Amino acid sequence: MTALVDHPAHTTVSPFTRPRSRRPDLRRWQDGPTPASLADLLALTREVAAEVDAGRHTVDVDPVHRWSRRLHADPHLDVWLISWATDQAAELHDHGGSIGALTVVRGSLTEWRWTAGSDDDGTCPAEELPARGPGLRRRALDPGRSVAFGLGHVHDVSNRAAETAVSVHAYSPPLSAMSYYGVEAGVLRRTRSELIEPGASPE
């Protein structure tokens, strides 16, 4: 686990503000227990990814353990910068009571996400579908690709390429618990749940 630096002296940090709805007369809570929407988090990760790409945030790489730095935290959301050396991965997991989004800055990531049926089969090329119905679906996340994950989203993320990958993640509310899963005989089974200490890196 890397030491966390909220605002390193050598890094320019954006003045993040609480996400606002495009319709300020309505409080939008449809995506989860937070005033931020999935669209807000997607926009935020894209904004910060552009800053990273422009060199405004320092990125380190740890060949043994996935490196991360928290760029922002407040009661409503936190933002993380993560680097992925070859073969580094996050275990199959959910995000507890948080919604989230990520944007890939450089390199490529592979996401395997659990789906309960065939409704989203059209989001994957046919050759990536081993079977219709419940199961894990793969999608490649190339530079500039952004994805959002609502409540109940279960996935793992890994770097299978030789090039280091860098991504920006946002969670709202900040992560406080995560559950981990295995797939046995085509059935998704929770193996354990863990509380996340404030400021602890998302695993």
Write the single-letter amino acid at 7.
Answer: H
- Comparison of pLDDT for 10 and 68, the residue scoring more: 68
Tokens of 29: 């809570």
What percentage of the chain carries pLDDT values higher than 90? 65
Is a pLDDT exceeding 90 seen at residue 152? yes
State the pLDDT at residue 30. 60
- Residues 49-71: pLDDT tens digits? 999 999 999 999 999 999 999 99
Give the count of alpha carbons within 13 A of 85, CB side only: 8
State the pLDDT at residue 72. 94
For residues 19 and 41, what is the distance between their CA atoms, to the nearest angstrom? Answer: 8
* Range 21-39 average pLDDT: 63
pLDDT band at 126; cut points 50, 70, 90: very low
What percentage of the chain carries pLDDT values higher than 70? 76
Is a pLDDT exceeding 90 seen at residue 31? no
State the pLDDT at residue 119. 52
| Structural domains in the chain plus CATH codes | 40-119+132-195 (2.60.120.10)
- Mapping DSSP to helix (H, G, I), strand (E, B) and coil, where does residue 34 land? coil
Is a pLDDT exceeding 50 seen at residue 158? yes
pTM for the complete prediction?
A: 0.80
**Strand 89-93, strand 78-84: pairing:** unpaired
